[in-house]
Structure 1
Amino acid sequence: MTSLITPVRAALTGHPAYSQTFPCEPSTAEVGRKLVRDALGVWHLDSLADVAALIMSELIANAARHTPCHSIRLNVGRASATRVRVGVVDQAPSRLPVLGQAGENDESGRGLLLIDGIAHRWGFDLHGPEGRPWGKEVWAELLVRGVA
């Protein structure tokens, strides 16, 4: 397993963000949750850690289950002073996320429904040239309470 000991450099401009690449497999969820908790701790936003870690776990699980990618990039950033964004970048732009309609007895298919219920908003962005993207980022945002 990859360690998070690697120092993270602060961005010189814009909003702060943390980003690292890991294998596209379910076990990456553990380091994804740690990345989220560490970043939110640095920003003194520990109150968002549980929800953000759950979202990251679901995004990683979706990438591992629904894409043929070997690696994914995990992102945690301050989209603005009032929003935190967590996301997973994969190299499967043709496999876009869709809200599931899991049956009562289904054991899977509720990840994006869960994210939709707990995040302020979620979506995806294609990466690469228009008409020929090389990948996508599926992301979710949480609101930072108490920021003026």
Structure 2
Amino acid sequence: MTGDRNTSALRVDDVITLTVNINDYFSTELARIALVVGNIQIISISKFVTEMANETLVVTLQLREGHFGNVTITFNSVDKNQSQRCGHLDQLISAATEPGEASPAPYQICDGSDTPCIRGDHLAISITVILTVYTSASEIIK
């Protein structure tokens, strides 16, 4: 699989074209191939393939929140079910996250002046902890 742009810093509404080459497959029964991007099934092909075949799938997406995540190809037939990541292009990553990180919560952190912070800004956080230590049950009664 290849993409026409860097897939590690994408944003909602970005447009990306993905090209998937599926080589040397066949099935004795009806084969179903699907491209799944994030949690959205993009393309689904169902056909009888009795000899070795190749497919090239090309899709242009305007990204939505559900597109971010793993990119997989699924192959299903009567005798085989397989899901496979797509080589070096195995994820579409939001620009707001790092690889392996979950998308941030839709809240903004602000300092005392209500100035929104962005990724990479330094933020001082003050946490006050009150700790009460009792040494014996008789001190609790006092």
TM score, norm. by length of structure 2: 0.26
- Which has more strand, going by share of residues? 2
Largest Rg, 1 or 2: 2
TM-score by length of 1: 0.26
